[in-house]
Amino acid sequence: MLTPVVDDDGAPFWEYTARGELRVQACAEPACAELRFPPRPCCPHCHSFDSEWRRMSGRGRIWSYVIPHPPLLPDYAAQAPYNVIVVELAEAPRIRLVGNLVSGPDAPLDSVAAERIRIGARVQVAFPRHSDGDGPRLPRWTLERP
């Protein structure tokens, strides 16, 4: 499986997911405080270079989804057809995260039948088992009402 090729701007996101926290970059200028994703060096609204990482509730809704079929990279082809979803976060619907809808934190990519997936469905973030040396910990998503 591909692991994220982390850059300077994105590194804090993965440091927080390793602790089981979903955080999104936000402008630290109190008068602005806008969330932004993907992370970047300065705020496109007020141009402040000060940022913080705000903890999210981990709740959201499916904005869109696809079901990839082969040809795919081998590790993905082995689980295909699987789903990839885009989740809009409950706190900030315009902050959207790409992820996978799974039946449980450690379930495979194809653990939820494609027929069960709906745009607008409520989902909750879940973090897989993780130990040091595993590389970045990818947040995953489960249906609020499976």
Report the distance separating Cα 95 and Cα 25, nearest Å: 10
Residue span binding another protein (CB under 8 A) among the ranges 26-34, 51-59, 82-90, 121-129: 82-90
Residue span binding another protein (CB under 8 A) among the ranges 25-33, 50-58, 65-73, 121-129: 65-73
Residue of 3, 14, 2 whose CA lies nearest to 39: 14
Q: Residue 25 belongs to what H/E stretch?
A: strand 23-27
**Smallest separation (angstroms) from another protein to the CB of 146:** 20
Report the distance separating Cα 93 and Cα 39, nearest Å: 16
Comparing CB distances to another protein, the nearer of 6 and 90 is: 6
**Smallest separation (angstroms) from another protein to the CB of 105:** 15
Contact between 68 and another protein by CB under 8 A: the answer reads yes
List the structure tokens of 135.
Answer: 């590389």
55 phi and psi angles, rounded to 5 deg? -75, 135
Residues that bind another protein (CB under 8 A): 1-7, 10, 37-38, 44, 63-69, 71-73, 76, 79, 81-82, 84, 86, 94-100, 109, 114, 119, 136, 138
